[in-house]
Amino acid sequence: MIIRDVQIKEFEAAARRRFEAIAIAKLRNEYPERLEHTPDERLRADVRIGWESAGQYGLTDEAWVLEFLGYIVQFGSDFGCTPETAWGGRILERTDLTEEQKIAELEGYVVRYLI
């Protein structure tokens, strides 16, 4: 059996659409007030941008990307890049941490300093 490039692209597109649907549902469930006026197409675009941003920080596992998207909803699409969220960028840029450890560090920071 030979899988052609076009078939691989179709599989990738289907996987991306599946992830986007899961992410939109999860974010709407966790942040209903913040997202009540955000249309699905806008949220879908934000999820795509967030996926790319997560990849730049070494977050590739869907579970950790979903967690990262939650920080974007809470703190803004430029999470980690502003003076107010630079703490997040410092954690995410650490190359000595796994994806799981990065998310745990973010959660720990929020609990210690922001709640």
- 1-5, 11-15, 28-32, 69-73: which range is least confident on average? 1-5
State the pLDDT at residue 47: 97
Is 28 within 8 Å of 46 (Cβ atoms)?
A: no
- For 24-54, how does the pLDDT look when each residue is reduced to its tens digit (9 = 90+)? 999 999 999 999 999 999 999 999 999 999 9
Task: Please give the single-letter amino acid code of residue 83.
Answer: P
Range of the domain at 110: 5-114
pLDDT of 7 reads 82
Q: Is 93 helix (H, G, I), strand (E, B) or coil?
A: coil
pLDDT confidence bin for 68, thresholds 50/70/90: very high
34 phi, psi to nearest 5 deg: -65, -30
3-state secondary structure of 79: coil
Grade residue 9 by pLDDT with cuts at 50, 70 and 90. Answer: confident
pTM summary value: 0.89
Whether the per-residue pLDDT at 115 is higher than 80: the answer is no
Number of domains in the chain: 1
Q: How many CA atoms lie within 13 A of 10 on its CB side?
A: 5
DSSP-derived secondary structure for 33-66? HHHTT--HHHHHHHHHHHHHHHHHTT--SHHHHH
Q: Which of 9-13, 55-59, 60-64, 100-104 has the lowest mean pLDDT?
A: 9-13
Asked if 63 and 102 touch (Cβ cutoff 8 Å), the reply is: no
Radius of gyration, alpha carbons of the chain: 15
C-alpha–C-alpha distance, residues 4 and 110, integer Å: 46
